[in-house]
C-alpha cells in the first residue's frame, strides 16, 4: 500500500485530529492494526463545514466543462490506482478479491455517471396565466452535503453520494465508518486530491459516531445528509435532521426475500442464491435474507443448495479462490451465532454449519424456518442462509411482504411475465426476476421502502436529490394591481 493514512483531510490539508481519542483501523482477517488515526472532535467538524461552505460558491460557479475536466482526472486517477484501491478494500473491509473488484468496477461506473451531471443541470420555461409574464425554473446545487459512509461496501456506498453531489456543484464533508476510515473516507480524499479538485470541495472527518456523529447532522451549514447504514441509526439521524428541516438520503437495513416458485429452474436458482447470499459474507444491505421456496421444489432446492454451499472456500480474502471472508469484527460474529442459537431453539434445523475461526464463520444453512423466527425477522448481515417452505405463489408473496423492511428482492420462475406480476406485488424498492437481490446500476433508481430508507440514489434520482429547483418569474409588461 502506497500510503498510510493517519490524519483528517480539511480544506485540502492533511491535519491531526483534535480529539484525545484514536480510531484503530484493524484488518478483520488478521485482526492486526493497519493504521491508527487521532480522532476529529466537534471543533474539527466546524472547521470542515466552514471550509466546505467557503469553497462551495466558487465551485458552483465553475463551468460545466471545468467540472467535467476534474472528473476526467478523477477517472484517470481511479484507473491508475486500481490495485491499490482493491488492496485496501481487501485489507480493511474483509472484502474477497472478487467482491473488491466488483466494488471497484461499480464505483468506477458511478464516477463516469457523475461526469455527465454538470451538463444535465437543466431548467424549464413555463407559460403563465398572467399577461406579459414568463416563468423560469432553475436547478441549483443544495450547498454543503454531509455524507456518512458505511463499512460493508465502504468505497462505493460513500462515493455514490459524494460524486453526484460534487458534480452538481455541492461541496462535501464525509464522516467515514470507524471500521473502514480509509476506504470510506481518507482514500476518497486522496483520490480527489490527486485529481486536483479545489481545496474545500472534499473534506473527511474520522471519528467515532459517539463523539462527532450527531454534530455532523446538527451543524447549521449542511442542507442535506446522506447516510447508508442500519435502520436504527438512520431513524435517529432522520429525527436529528428533521428538527432543522434538513433533507436526507437514507439507505437502511433490508430483509430481502428470494422467492423460488414451483416452475423455477432449480440449478439456476441455486447458483443465484449462492451469490446473492454469500457474496461479502452476506454483509450487504441487498443480500438475500430469506429464501422462500415452494413446497413442490423445496427438498430438491435444499439438497442442491447445501451441496454447493459446502464447496465454498472460506478463509483469507486475499486468496483469489476465497468466496467467504471474515466478518468486519468479533461483535458481528457473536451477534450472528447468538441469533442462530435462538433460531435453532425456536425449531429451525441446522443443515450445515462449520468452524468459527476468529472473524471467519463457515456458511450455515437453516431449514424448517418460519417467518416469525429470529433469523427470519432480523437482518442477518452474515453467512447464514434461511430457507422457508411455502405452499404456493400466494404464500410466497405473503411471507415476502411480512416484514417492516422493503429494500430488494428476487423471484425465480420460468415464466418471466409471471415473475413480473409477482414482483409488482412485493412491497420493496427493488426486485429482480430470475436474478438474485444484489444488483446496482449507477444510472437506475436505487432505494428502499418502509424501514429500508428514504429517497433514491442513482442517475437522475441522485441529480434530483442533491439539487433544488428555484422559480423565477419575469414580467415583461407592467402588471396592473
Cα torsion 308, 311, 314, 317: sign: negative
DSSP states of 80-91 as a string?
HTHHHHHHHHHH
Instruction: Dig out the grid coordinates for 94 from the structure.
Output: 474483509
Q: Count Cβ neighbours within 10 Å for each residue of 43-75 and write b for 16 or more, e otherwise.
A: ebbebbbbbbbebbeebeeeeeeebbbbbebbb
Q: Cα–Cα–Cα angle for 454, 331, 406, nearest 5°?
A: 25
Give the strand pairing for 384-390 and 288-294.
parallel
Cα–Cα distance list, 17 to 24, 43, 48, 220 (Å): 13, 9, 11, 21
Q: Would you report the helix, strand and coil content of the chain in percent, each value rounded to 5? A: 40, 20, 35
Q: Is 113 a catalytic residue?
A: no
Indicate the helix (H) or strand (E) that contains 136: strand 133-141
Other beta carbons less than 10 A from residue 304's beta carbon: 17
| Whole-number Å distance between alpha carbons of 9 and 149 | 15
Indicate the helix (H) or strand (E) that contains 341: helix 330-345
Catalytic residue among 251, 283, 379, 393: 251
Secondary structure of 384-418 in HEC code, one letter for each residue: EEEEEEECCHHHHHHHHHCCCEECCEEEECCCHHH
Residue whose C-alpha is closest to residue 45's, from 232, 244, 247, 209: 209
Start-to-end C-alpha separation, the chain: 70
Tell me which residues are annotated as active site.
251
Amino acid at each position: 500500500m502506497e500510503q498510510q493514512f493517519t490524519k483528517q483531510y480539511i480544506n485540502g490539508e492533511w491535519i491531526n485530529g483534535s480529539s484525545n481519542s484514536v480510531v484503530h483501523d484493524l484488518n478483520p482477517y488478521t485482526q492486526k492494526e493497519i493504521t491508527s488515526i487521532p480522532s476529529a472532535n466537534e471543533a474539527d467538524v466546524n472547521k470542515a463545514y466552514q471550509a466546505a461552505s467557503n469553497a462551495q460558491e466558487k465551485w458552483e460557479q465553475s463551468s460545466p466543462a471545468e467540472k467535467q475536466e476534474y472528473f476526467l482526472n478523477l477517472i484517470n486517477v481511479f484507473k491508475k490506482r486500481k490495485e491499490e484501491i482493491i488492496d485496501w478494500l481487501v485489507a480493511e473491509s474483509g472484502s474477497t478479491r472478487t467482491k473488491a473488484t466488483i466494488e471497484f468496477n461499480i464505483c468506477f461506473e458511478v464516477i463516469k455517471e457523475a461526469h455527465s451531471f454538470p451538463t444535465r443541470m437543466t431548467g424549464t420555461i413555463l407559460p403563465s396565466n398572467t399577461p406579459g409574464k414568463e416563468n423560469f425554473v432553475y436547478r441549483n446545487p443544495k450547498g454543503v452535503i454531509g455524507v456518512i459512509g458505511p463499512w460493508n461496501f465502504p468505497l462505493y456506498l460513500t462515493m455514490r453520494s459524494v460524486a453526484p453531489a460534487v458534480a452538481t456543484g455541492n461541496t462535501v464533508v464525509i464522516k467515514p465508518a470507524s471500521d473502514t476510515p480509509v476506504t470510506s473516507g481518507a482514500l476518497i480524499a486522496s483520490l480527489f486530491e490527486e485529481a486536483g479538485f479545489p481545496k474545500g470541495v472534499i473534506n473527511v472527518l474520522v471519528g467515532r459516531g459517539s463523539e462527532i456523529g450527531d454534530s455532523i447532522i446538527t451543524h447549521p451549514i449542511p442542507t442535506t445528509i446522506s447516510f447508508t447504514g442500519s435502520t436504527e441509526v438512520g431513524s435517529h439521524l432522520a429525527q436529528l435532521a428533521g428538527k432543522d428541516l434538513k433533507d436526507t438520503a437514507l439507505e437502511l437495513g433490508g430483509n430481502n426475500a428470494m422467492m423460488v416458485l414451483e416452475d423455477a429452474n432449480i440449478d439456476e436458482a441455486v447458483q443465484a442464491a449462492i451469490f446473492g447470499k454469500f457474496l461479502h459474507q452476506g454483509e450487504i444491505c441487498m443480500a438475500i435474507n430469506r429464501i422462500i421456496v415452494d413446497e413442490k421444489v423445496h427438498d430438491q432446492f435444499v439438497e442442491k443448495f447445501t451441496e454447493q454451499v459446502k464447496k465454498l472456500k472460506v478463509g483469507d480474502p486475499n486468496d483469489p479462490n476465497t468466496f467467504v471472508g471474515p466478518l468486519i469484527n468479533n461483535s458481528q460474529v457473536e451477534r450472528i451465532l447468538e441469533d442462530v442459537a435462538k433460531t435453532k431453539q425456536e425449531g429451525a434445523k441446522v443443515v450445515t454449519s462449520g468452524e468459527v475461526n476468529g472473524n471467519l464463520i463457515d456458511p450455515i444453512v437453516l431449514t424448517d424456518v418460519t417467518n416469525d423466527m429470529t433469523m427470519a425477522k432480523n437482518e442477518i448481515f452474515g453467512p447464514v442462509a434461511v430457507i422457508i417452505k411455502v405452499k404456493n405463489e400466494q404464500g410466497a408473496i405473503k411471507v415476502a411482504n411480512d416484514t417492516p423492511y422493503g429494500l430488494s428482492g428476487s423471484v425465480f420462475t420460468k415464466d418471466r411475465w409471471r415473475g413480473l406480476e409477482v414482483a409488482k406485488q412485493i412491497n420493496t424498492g427493488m426486485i429482480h426476476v430470475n436474478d438474485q437481490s444484489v444488483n446496482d446500476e449507477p444510472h437506475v433508481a436505487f432505494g428502499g421502502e418502509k424501514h429500508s430508507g428514504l429517497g433514491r440514489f442513482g442517475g437522475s434520482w441522485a441529480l434530483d436529490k442533491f439539487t433544488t429547483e428555484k422559480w423565477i418569474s419575469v414580467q415583461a409588461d407592467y402588471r396592473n394591481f
